[in-house]
Chain A
Amino acid sequence: METFLQLLIYGLQLGSIYALIALGYTMVYGIIGLINFAHGDFLMVGAFVALFAVTLFGLGFVPALLISMIITGLLGVSIERIAYKPLRKRPRLSALITAIGVSIVLENFPRALPFIGPAPRPFPQMIPMVKFNVLGVSTNSVQLIMIALSVLLMVMLQIIVTKTQIGRKMRAVSLDKDAASLMGINVNSVISVTFFIGASLAAAGGIFYASTYPMIDVYMGIVLGLKAFIAAVLGGIGNIPGAMVGGIIMGIAEIFATSINSDLGYGIGFVILIFILLVRPAGIMGKFTIEKV
């Protein structure tokens, strides 16, 4: 029982990180129908921005987190404007291939920079680590704060999407861009806001991940991004609560599988992916629509 709870906490922590990243995949897919293959790299950018904010400018955790979220968010907006927007009326495959290209650039441009480079970097410990025991389960301040912050960000997102005018606009644009523009909605700026939110949540996810597994490198977004993408598919791509649920399930499944065998832990995501594609291709919360990628 104690091991179970112990694993559950680790699973929740990893799962909430997957969820934050999965949200960006799902929101971007929902609004422009694009699987943004470069999305995983935003979490890497977020982690590096935070690293420099701390090591070069001596910022604390919260300012570093906020600055990283803003810078990564703006990067997401610029990438959409420069790389994806011109292709919006072209066949989907063009944007998909472009996304792969963007991903390669995002990984290899920093790799070529002398002050970043290919080697992994230690990520600073920004939150004082206090360990404690609850009911025989050992946990620590970092873990609990990360989970709490993830939940906070997700609740904020949910409120924005369901209760505010920009949220209404996002849902309208994702359903019908022409009809939305006939309401006087500036579709381009709504798409920008969506990219901003998606990329900044990924940055937060990257920082939370690096705070737990404190080595970062330019390729860290690949596997993490892939798993978060599976989480988004699992929840139903395009569905926001689905991404949250999918992320949590992925994290928990991975931690439990790892406790049995570490290779199994690495592969469990793909097992889940194959399973969900076979039995419920629309995902847990998704509605099935025929959709060309």
Chain B
Amino acid sequence: MLEIKDLHVSYGAIKAVKGISFEVREGEIVTLIGANGAGKSTTLRTISGLEATAGGTITFMGQNINNMPPHKIVELGISHVPEGRRVFTNLSVIDNLKLGANLRKDKEAVKKDMKKVFELFPILEKRQNQLAGTLSGGEQQMLAVGRALMTKGKLMLLDEPSMGLAPMIVENIFEIIKEINNEGTTILLIEQNAYMALSIADRAYVLETGNIVLEGSASDLAENDEIKKAYLGA
């Protein structure tokens, strides 16, 4: 579904991603794990068109999407929950969700999906008229996921959804990611919390300073000694 070949991304002289290749197949949960600064967010931002590629190709459902404007990429079916949530704090919860659906014409389907989001995150329904800026961190993360769901992408990119959240809330969010996947959305998940990520993923790639150093099924990687030492705190 998504195929990355020899992707390079730079910020001026800084080479953040140095020729990585990986793929995400339809229906999978794939995770990209790695330490802070490894280039995970840069990879996602480049897939979504927020950063320009310095080389390589990004193919989504058979179409080259290199350097397409971000709103076109959303239209093709990639939704992205950015690092740090980035909800529109100056808008109400419901307006945030409506913006997620701004490209969609079918009002009935949008209403149904809004209901679905409220089923997944009942707290958002209660808070729907509140400004998003007044939500707690966990609630903002839920809103960020809900808003991305409203774009109705076929592939959802999630950038560290566990960041800064209490363990209970993290578990809850990961449950919901699994549920979203079960209902047919393919997931590319980025995490520093490798333990959680490997527990729900099908396959995983390990990124270190801009290079992929390991890949395999999530269960194999969870047993890998290097991974255990470096990322699982064993």
Bound pair: A and B?
yes
Chain A minimum-CB-distance residue to B74: A184
Q: Are A169 and B102 in contact (CB under 8 A)?
A: yes
Bound complex: CA A135 to CA B50 (Å): 62
Judge whether A171 is part of the interface by a CB distance below 8 angstroms: yes
Q: Are A178 and B99 in contact (CB under 8 A)?
A: no
Judge whether A176 is part of the interface by a CB distance below 8 angstroms: yes
Within 8 Å by CB of B88, from A176, A184, A186, A187, lies: A176
Q: Are B82 and A172 in contact (CB under 8 A)?
A: no
A286 nearest CB across to chain B (Å): 13
Chain B minimum-CB-distance residue to A183: B99
Inter-chain contacts of A183 with B (CB < 8 A): 74, 99-100, 102, 147, 151
Within 8 Å by CB of A175, from B69, B70, B80, B89, lies: B89
Judge whether B162 is part of the interface by a CB distance below 8 angstroms: no
Bound complex: CA A184 to CA B78 (Å): 10
Bound complex: CA A184 to CA B45 (Å): 14
Chain B minimum-CB-distance residue to A166: B102
Interface size bracket, A side: 10 to 19
Judge whether B208 is part of the interface by a CB distance below 8 angstroms: no
Within 8 A of B (CB), among A168-195: 168-169, 171-172, 175-176, 178-187
Given A165-B98, A168-B95, A169-B99, also A182-B90 (CB < 8 A): no
Judge whether B91 is part of the interface by a CB distance below 8 angstroms: yes
A-B pairs with beta carbons under 8 A, tally: 65
Q: Are B99 and A168 in contact (CB under 8 A)?
A: yes
Inter-chain contacts of B49 with A (CB < 8 A): 181
Within 8 Å by CB of B71, from A168, A171, A172, A187, lies: A187
Bound complex: CA A35 to CA B99 (Å): 27
Q: Are A175 and B75 in contact (CB under 8 A)?
A: no
A185 nearest CB across to chain B (Å): 6
A260 nearest CB across to chain B (Å): 41
Within 8 Å by CB of A179, from B69, B79, B86, B102, lies: B86
Q: Are B99 and A172 in contact (CB under 8 A)?
A: yes
**When each residue 32-53 of chain B gets 1 if its CB lies under 8 Å from chain A and 0 otherwise, what string results?**
0000000000000100111000
Judge whether B61 is part of the interface by a CB distance below 8 angstroms: no
Within 8 A of A (CB), among B87-107: 87-91, 95, 98-100, 102-103
Bound complex: CA A184 to CA B101 (Å): 8
Q: Are A175 and B90 in contact (CB under 8 A)?
A: yes
Bound complex: CA A283 to CA B144 (Å): 32
Q: Are A175 and B88 in contact (CB under 8 A)?
A: yes
Q: Are B99 and A186 in contact (CB under 8 A)?
A: no
Q: Are A179 and B151 in contact (CB under 8 A)?
A: no
Within 8 A of A (CB), among B103-151: 103, 147-148, 151
Inter-chain contacts of A165 with B (CB < 8 A): 98, 102
Given A168-B91, A171-B91, A172-B91, also A182-B99 (CB < 8 A): no
Inter-chain contacts of A169 with B (CB < 8 A): 99, 102
Inter-chain contacts of B75 with A (CB < 8 A): 184
Inter-chain contacts of B80 with A (CB < 8 A): 182
Given A168-B95, A169-B102, A172-B91, also A186-B86 (CB < 8 A): no
Bound complex: CA A179 to CA B79 (Å): 11
B102 nearest CB across to chain A (Å): 6
Chain A minimum-CB-distance residue to B98: A168
**12 cross-chain CB contacts under 8 A:** A172-B88, A175-B91, A176-B88, A178-B45, A178-B86, A181-B69, A182-B74, A182-B82, A182-B86, A183-B99, A183-B102, A184-B74
Spell out A's residues near B (CB within 8 Å).
165, 168-169, 171-172, 175-176, 178-187
A182-B48, A185-B102 known; 10 new pairs, CB 8 Å cut-off, are A165-B98, A169-B99, A169-B102, A171-B90, A176-B88, A178-B70, A178-B82, A181-B74, A183-B102, A184-B74
